[in-house]
């Protein structure tokens, strides 16, 4: 009977989350990919034309406390990004909401993400940051974002 009681106690304790403070900062990174098209309105060069990229997004979070020996479950980070970012960008035409783009694409019967600014890698990172930070647990910080338009061209955000 004593052994059964110990097993029940252990099962209850094992299923409860626990926080561990650590003396150093830890970070984890998850990499996401999505396909999108965009154009930079009134740009003096080929990027003023609609063109696409196979974007690669690196998301790094950090903190000093572990919950159940993890800074953040990768599944939760994936869920946050999938709902708030990837589902918006993937297979979308990303455009600045302005008169020229509304005239050219207002009747376009496809997925369009309208942004307040031109959809440069830099502005896209700021848009992404604004959607991730409120969804993170309080003890986890957004450390950096890197968005690759090509294998050799990318922008990085850090606080």
Where in the sequence numbering do the catalytic residues fall?
47, 91, 149
Q: Coil, strand, or helix at residue 46?
A: helix
Q: Measured between alpha carbons, how far is 38 from 53 in angstroms, rounded to an integer?
A: 8
Q: Are 56 and 32 in contact (CB under 8 A)?
A: yes
Q: Evaluate the CA torsion angle 93, 99, 100, 105 in order and state its sign.
A: positive
Quote the CA–CA distance of 124 and 102 in Å, as a whole number.
19
């Amino acid at each position: 009977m004593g052994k059964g009681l110990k097993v029940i106690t252990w099962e209850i304790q094992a299923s409860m989350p626990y926080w561990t403070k650590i003396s150093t900062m830890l970070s984890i990174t998850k990499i996401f990919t999505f396909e999108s098209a965009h154009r930079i309105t009134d740009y003096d060069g080929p990027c003023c034309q609609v063109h696409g990229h196979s974007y690669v997004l690196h998301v790094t979070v950090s903190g000093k406390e572990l919950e159940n020996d993890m800074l953040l479950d990768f599944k939760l980070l994936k869920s946050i990004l999938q709902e708030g970012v990837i589902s918006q960008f993937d297979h979308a035409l990303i455009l600045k909401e302005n008169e020229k783009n509304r005239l050219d694409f207002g009747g376009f019967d496809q997925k369009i993400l309208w942004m307040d600014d031109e959809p440069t890698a830099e502005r896209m990172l700021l848009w992404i940051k604004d959607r991730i930070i409120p969804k993170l647990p309080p003890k986890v910080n957004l450390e950096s974002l890197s968005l690759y338009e090509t294998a050799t061209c990318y922008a990085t955000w850090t606080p």
